[in-house]
Amino acid sequence: DLSRSGRVFSRSRSEHFFKRGRRVFPTGITRVTVDHEPSPLYIARGDGAYLIDVDGNRLLDLNNNFTTLIHGHGFLPVADAVADLLHRGTCFSNPTEHEITLAELLIERIPAVEHIRFVNSGTEAVMFAIKAARAFTCRPGVARIEGAYHGAYDWAETGQAVSPAIWNDAQRSPAVPAYRGMPPAVGEEVTVIRFNDVEDLERRIASAAPSLACILIDPMPSRAGLIAPEPIFLAAVGAIARQHGILVVADEVLNLRQSYRGASARYGLQPDLIAAGKIIGGGFPIGAIGGRKEVMRVFASDSGTPPLPQGGTFSANPVSMVAGRVAMEAMTEAAFASLESLGDSIRAGLRREIARRGAAFSVTGAASLFRIHPKRKEPTDFREAYLEPAEAELMARLSRHFLQCGILLPNGAAACLSTAMTSADGDAVVSAFADFLSALDANPTE
Ligand code: PLP
C-alpha cells in the first residue's frame, strides 16, 4: 500500500451514481475526468480549496475545474455578486454595462488587447481567433505546436495526438486527424511545429508560409508538458510571422493565470490576437478574443468588407461578465505575487524530495501551475515529456496515491493552485509526494 494515511477511501455513493450515469451517457459521464477507477468521484460541493464528494471525502483540489477557479470554490465576492443578479434576469439579447466593465479591465491589463469580444468557451475563443486571422490575412492555414491542447475546433485539434509511431515515421504527417472521419482537407491546412525548436519552426513555416493565416501558440502548453518557452523560440515565432505576414495568435485560455498581464506579457511574446477563457469568467462559462484594433476590425461591418460572423446566444451574458469582473478584480498584482510564491515553494519542495532520493522525476511549471514528470531529465519539449505506457501507469499510481492522501492531482495535465490555498496545503502536497517516493523506493513495481 502506497498510502501512509491509513484512510479508507469510500466510493459507494459515487459508484451508485456512475451506474445511473452509464444508462444515459455513452461513457457514463459527460465530463472528461481522470481517475475513473472504479468510478469517477461525484462532487457534492466545493469549499474554498477543497472538494467534498458524495461519499464525504474531502479533497484538496489541484484541478480547480481545469485551472478555471483561481479563487477556489464558493468565492464569496463572486457568489454574492451573482446571487444579486439572478433575481434581475440572467441573459438578454441586448447588451449590458457588465460586458463593458469586464472588457475595460482586461484591456487595461493585457498589453496585446486593444479591442475584445466575448464568447462562451475557450474552444470558441480559439476558433474565432483563427477565423479572425483568416479574415484579416485572406489565408486558410494554421501553424500550431505539436501536442498542445487548444480546445475542439478541428484546425486547433489537429496535431495534438502526436505519438512516437508518428514522429518516427517520416512518411506520416504530424498533422494527425483529431478524430476518425475528420475531413482530410483539415490536415492539409495545419502545420505542426515542435516547441522550443527554432530550426523546425523556420523550416516548416518557410514551406507553408503563403497559405498560413496564423501561428497558434500557448506560451507554456500544459498538455504538451507545461514546459517553459525558450525566449529565443518565442522571438523566432514573432520574427518569422512578421516576415511572412502571418499573425501570432496566443492561446492564453489557461495561461492567462500566470500573471496580472497574462502569459504573453510574462514571456515577451507580442501576439496580434489572444484567446482567453477560464479565470476571466469567475467560475462561469466564458471565452474572449482580443487583439490589435486593426485586426479586430474584421468583426465590424464598416471595414469595407463583409464582417466575420460571430454571435452566440449566451455570449457576454451578465452572469459570466459580473462573476469574471469580481474574480479578476480580486486578482490584484499582490494576489498574483502571493499565488506565485506558493507555487514556487511547492515546486521547490517537490524538487527537494526528488533530489534527496535521486528519484527519476522532474517538475515543470510556473506561477500557480506545476506538473510532475516521471523523467529524470526535465523535459524541454512535448516529445521529451511524452509518456511511455509504463510511465503513464506510474503517473496514474501517483494520482491514486494523492487521492489516498486527500488530494486531487490531475493526471496528464497541469496541477493548479488557488488563492484559497494555504502554505499548509502546499506542505501537504509536498509530503504526499515524499511519501510516494519513499514507498516507490521500497516497492518499485507494486
Ligand atoms: N485552450 C487551452 C490552452 C485550454 O487549456 C483549453 C481548455 O482546457 C481550451 C483552449 C478550451 O477551452 P474550453 O474548455 O473552455 O472550451
Residue 148 lies in a domain: yes
Residues 254 and 403 grouped into a single domain? no
Report the distance separating Cα 406 and Cα 413, nearest Å. 19
CATH number at residue 134: 3.40.640.10
Residues 307 and 210 grouped into a single domain? yes
Q: Distance from the CA of 360 to the center of ligand 1, in angstroms?
A: 30
Q: Per residue in 281-316, pLDDT tens?
A: 999 999 999 999 999 999 997 767 889 999 999 999
In degrees and rounded to multiples of 5, residue 104 shows phi and psi of -60, -40
Q: Distance from the CA of 152 to the center of ligand 1, in angstroms?
A: 8
Residue 366 lies in a domain: yes
CB 212 within 8 A of CB 142: yes
Query: What is the extent of the structural domain holding 361?
Result: 12-70+332-442
Average pLDDT value over all residues in the chain: 94
Q: Distance from the CA of 75 to the center of ligand 1, in angstroms?
A: 22
Report the distance separating Cα 277 and Cα 287, nearest Å. 4
* Pocket perturbation via mutation, ligand 1, pick of 253, 256, 264 by most ligand atoms within 8 A of CB: 253
Q: Per residue in 220-253, pLDDT tens?
A: 999 999 999 999 999 999 999 999 999 999 999 9
pLDDT at 169 over 90: yes
Q: For residue 412, what pLDDT is reported? A: 81
Which residues, judged by CB distance below 6 Å to any ligand atom, belong to the binding site of ligand 1?
Answer: 66, 121-123, 126, 149-151, 218, 222, 251, 253-254, 277
Residue 1 lies in a domain: no
pLDDT at 66 over 70: yes
Q: For residue 446, what pLDDT is reported? A: 61
CATH number at residue 437: 3.90.1150.10
What does each C-alpha distance from 175 to 123, 193, 214, 350 come to in angstroms? 19, 9, 15, 35
Tell me the ipTM for this assembly.
0.99
* Pocket perturbation via mutation, ligand 1, pick of 251, 254, 264, 314 by most ligand atoms within 8 A of CB: 254
Q: Can you tell me the mean pLDDT for 268-288?
A: 98
Q: Distance from the CA of 240 to the center of ligand 1, in angstroms?
A: 26
pLDDT at 4 over 60: no
Q: Distance from the CA of 127 to the center of ligand 1, in angstroms?
A: 11
Nearest-CA neighbor of 367 among 237, 298, 266?
A: 266
Measured from the CA of 277, which atom of ligand 1 is nearest?
15
Residue 425 lies in a domain: yes
pLDDT at 6 over 60: no
Report the distance separating Cα 230 and Cα 373, nearest Å. 19
Q: For residue 36, what pLDDT is reported? A: 66
Residues 103 and 247 grouped into a single domain? yes
Q: Per residue in 121-150, pLDDT tens?
A: 999 999 999 999 999 999 999 999 999 999
SS3 sequence, 386-401? CCCHHHHHHHHHHHHH
pLDDT at 5 over 60: no
Report the range out of 7-16, 274-283, 292-301 with the highest average pLDDT. Answer: 274-283
Q: For residue 3, what pLDDT is reported? A: 38
Residue 244 lies in a domain: yes
User: pLDDT category, 344, cuts 50, 70, 90?
Assistant: very high
Q: For residue 35, what pLDDT is reported? A: 65
Domain-ending residue, one of 303, 330, 357 = 330
Q: Which three cell numbers stand for residue 70?
A: 483561481
Residue 238 lies in a domain: yes
Residues 93 and 164 grouped into a single domain? yes
The partner residues of 43 in beta bridges, in order of sequence, read: 53
Domain-ending residue, one of 330, 355, 381 = 330
User: pLDDT category, 441, cuts 50, 70, 90?
Assistant: confident
Of 34 and 124, more confident: 124
Residues 198 and 299 grouped into a single domain? yes
pLDDT at 357 over 70: yes
Q: Can you tell me the mean pLDDT for 323-343?
A: 98
Q: Per residue in 192-217, pLDDT tens?
A: 999 999 999 999 999 999 999 999 99
Residues 394 and 245 grouped into a single domain? no
Residues above pLDDT 70, as percent of the chain: 96
Q: Distance from the CA of 253 to the center of ligand 1, in angstroms?
A: 6
Report the distance separating Cα 184 and Cα 175, nearest Å. 10
Q: Which three cell numbers stand for residue 269?
A: 511574446
Q: For residue 34, what pLDDT is reported? A: 61
Residues 35 and 118 grouped into a single domain? no
* Pocket perturbation via mutation, ligand 1, pick of 32, 63, 118, 123 by most ligand atoms within 8 A of CB: 123
pTM value is 0.96
Residues 47 and 88 grouped into a single domain? no
Measured from the CA of 122, which atom of ligand 1 is nearest?
12
Which residue lies with its CA nearest to atom 14 of ligand 1?
122
Q: Can you tell me the mean pLDDT for 405-419?
A: 93
Q: For residue 147, what pLDDT is reported? A: 95
Which residue lies with its CA nearest to atom 5 of ligand 1?
254
Amino acid at the residue 274 = I
Q: For residue 305, what pLDDT is reported? A: 82
Return the exposure string of 220-230: e unless at least 16 CB atoms fall within 10 Å of the residue's CB, then b. bbbbbbbbebb
What does each C-alpha distance from 134 to 186, 214, 257 come to in angstroms? 14, 8, 27
Residue 6 lies in a domain: no
* Pocket perturbation via mutation, ligand 1, pick of 69, 127, 149, 195 by most ligand atoms within 8 A of CB: 149
Q: For residue 1, what pLDDT is reported? A: 33
Residue 354 lies in a domain: yes
Measured from the CA of 123, which atom of ligand 1 is nearest?
16
Residues 428 and 415 grouped into a single domain? yes
Q: For residue 7, what pLDDT is reported? A: 59
Domain-ending residue, one of 266, 299, 330 = 330
Q: For residue 413, what pLDDT is reported? A: 85
Q: How many folded domains does the chain comprise?
A: 2
Q: Per residue in 359-402, pLDDT tens?
A: 999 999 999 999 999 999 999 999 999 999 999 999 999 999 99
Residues 132 and 48 grouped into a single domain? no
